[in-house]
Amino acid sequence: MRRRRVQATAELDLIPVLSLVVHLVPMLLLSVRFMTLAEHPVDRAPVEATEAPSREKLEAQEEERVIVRITATGFAVRGAGDGEAQIACTGGCGPGDYDYRALGDAMVAAKGLHPRVQQVIVAPDPGVPYAVIIGVMDATRSRRAGDREEPLFPQPVLVTGSGELRP
């Protein structure tokens, strides 16, 4: 009588491993926070407002200009020929206490007065933190209305001093 050969096969039981992995992957994914980096382009080096004005700067005096001063107490928004709008901090004037929403409203009004102007002069006081400058650039660059984004003043120029180019 011929003996039948039986081939023994062993299969790994991967179910517990798979179960472990299925639990580990969501746990690790939950501990991850993805960070999105973006940029604010500024295509002009900072202007020294206290230096003697060049011919170009003197010519620029005749142009319409919108200036945002950032002080220790809030914002001051000025356009050529307009009055000055003072926007006080909402609290103790920490970086989160500046009223960016009111600044956005003021910039919409300034855009209405100066529809052709693309440039905004941003003049921070020396002690103003960088976060506030970025907040001002956010508020002056564009305004979101629903799903639409309306451009306001997309070309910021940073100025050291009061924002007045006259000496």
Contact residues for another protein, defined by CB under 8 A? 14, 17-18, 21-22, 24-25, 28-29, 31-46, 48, 70, 95-96, 100-101, 103-104, 124-135, 137-139, 141-142, 144, 158, 160
- Distance in Å, CB of 61 to another protein, minimum: 22
CB-based contact 82:65 (threshold 8 Å): no
CA distance 63 to 98: 29
In angstroms, give the least distance from the CB of 109 to another protein.
Answer: 16
32 backbone dihedrals φ, ψ, rounded to 5°: -95, 135
| Contact present, 89 and 97 (Cβ < 8 Å) | yes
Q: For residues 129 and 167, which CB has a smaller minimum distance to another protein in the complex?
A: 129
Shortest CB 17 distance to another protein, Å: 7
Q: What are phi and psi of 161, to 5 degrees?
A: 120, -155
Q: How far is the CB of 127 from another protein (least distance, A)?
A: 5
Contact between 112 and 66 under an 8 Å Cβ cutoff? The reply is: no
Residue with Cβ nearer another protein (6 or 14): 14
